[in-house]
Amino acid sequence: MYDQAAGLRSVAPPAGIRLVPVVLSRDTDTAFDVVWLLGSGLSAMGRNVVALDATCREQPGRTGLAQLLQGRESAAQAESEHTAWRIVPAQSGLSTLMHTAQTLGAQAAQARLAAQFPPETTVVVLAPKEWLSVLFEESVARPLVPFVMEPSGVVDAYSAVKVLFQAGGMQPVLVPLSRGESDDLAAQSLGVLCDTARKHLGWTPDSWPMPAAQTTDTRKAWAQWMFRMEASALALDDGSAQQPSWQKPSQPEVHVPQLWSR
């Protein structure tokens, strides 16, 4: 599917670390579909991709972000045991970074996260909206909000947009996925969601739907979608500063939802 990226592998990858927040909602399958597509697609384009999974807790024998933050495992060692891209347990590690963000600010948490990976790595952060609103607060990050055009999916998507926009000070992006709905129904559902955001938030989120299978030039469409996802990432030039930098206010305490482990 992603051989269409073969002609793009010669494009120089962006310098520094790139962080891509992806909202984890009740519909975990949809969120993981987007993470899988991003990991597979970007790695086919020559990128080094790591996905941090907030649903999976680190344990002895199943190491992940927590061990990296504790200095018990290096990213280079972890990479030697995996393919070009991988999903790693990160529930405890992201919880630790939440406390860093609450005490030292979101930029400090981002810098600590970025320091765990080699330059030119794209780090996909799959976590609940409440976590992302703290870890990336007031940043130029564009959290991705995957959802399907069903009533529950639309409700969850609006909830994520509201939290990320109002509490996190960010402009999230809707990523609608088709599950066989008619074009009219999909357009109606997306219209209701955007109208509700405009009415109650005073702002309308962008929508970057995945290319349809019947697209005339599927390869070009997928390449453009991948580049758009990558371009929306939060770029850290040396793992310590955003581009551009933002002044951080004091971080409020937030409610951290209970997550399940797989």
Q: Give me the amino acid identity at 233.
A: A
Query: Residue 124: what pLDDT?
Result: 97
Strand partners, 258: none
d(CA 106, CA 183): 40
Query: Residue 224: what pLDDT?
Result: 87
* All domains in the chain, ordered by first residue: 18-231 (3.40.50.300)
d(CA 14, CA 235): 9
Give 66's Cβ-side CA count (13 Å radius): 17
Look at residue 70 and give its three-state secondary structure.
coil
Strand partners, 177: 148
Query: Residue 15: what pLDDT?
Result: 60
User: What's the distance, CA 139 to chain centroid?
Assistant: 14
pTM for this model (two decimals): 0.83
d(CA 67, CA 83): 19
d(CA 125, CA 247): 22
Q: What's the token pair of residue 1?
A: 């599917």
Q: What size, in residues, is the chain?
A: 262
Query: Residue 218: what pLDDT?
Result: 77
Q: What is the mean pLDDT of each run of 10 residues along the chain (262 residues)?
A: 41 70 95 94 91 95 93 58 80 97 96 93 97 97 94 95 97 90 84 96 94 71 87 76 39 42 38
Do residues 170 and 138 touch, judged by C-beta distance below 8 A?
A: yes
